[in-house]
Amino acid sequence: MEFTSLRQALSEVVKILKRFLYFKDPFSYLILGLFVLQTHCYEIFDAAPYILLNGPHASGKTLTLDLLNLLCHRSLLISQITKAGFFHVIHRLKGTLLLDEAENLSRRYQSEFDMAVLLHGYRKGGFVVRVDPRKRKPTKFKVYGPKVMANISGIYSRQLRSRCIIIKTTPIEGGD
């Protein structure tokens, strides 16, 4: 599908989101629509805000991630990843990382490793340094890029929360 304007592209993305998802706050569709579009050109921006999908069980978080996985640029949807794999994936992906079941973000003592990747990954040029076991020397890994996280408990870290646009998900009233 080709679009003649940014407005037309945004309108079509929002239509798709409204067709498959439910949010009480109508601005959530616009926010996600703009997020989807920016994933296709995020490298021209100095920063890429994160999205946090936060809500109770069966409120549409995973469905939202499934749909974003189809709409976002070079997306990868994961729910479990090792600490070493986390920064490697972001470094190589150069696209959109979608993290489901991100409950570890709600814990007071999160892994400093995971937090460093997320705290530095919202700004252009963001990187972490890790020792490459094969080369046995420090290596820079780029971690900048759009990310969406979904969890039930929210985010403990005030610093990480400040980099997120929080979208509340709610079960459909009367739904199963």
Where residue 121 sits, what CATH number does that domain have?
Answer: 3.40.50.300
| pLDDT given at position 46 | 97
User: How many structural domains compose the chain?
Assistant: 1
* Structural domain boundaries enclosing 159: 6-168
Pairing of strands 127-132, 137-142: antiparallel
156 part of a folded domain: yes
Task: Give per-residue pLDDT as tens, 38-95.
Answer: 999 999 999 999 999 999 999 999 999 999 999 999 999 998 777 777 777 887 888 9
1 part of a folded domain: no
pTM, 2 dp: 0.89
173 part of a folded domain: no
174 part of a folded domain: no
The alpha carbon of residue 120 and the mean position of all alpha carbons in its chain are separated, in whole angstroms, by: 14
**Mean per-residue pLDDT, 16-35:** 97
Identify the weakest region by mean pLDDT among 25-34, 60-69, 89-98, 128-137.
Answer: 128-137
175 part of a folded domain: no
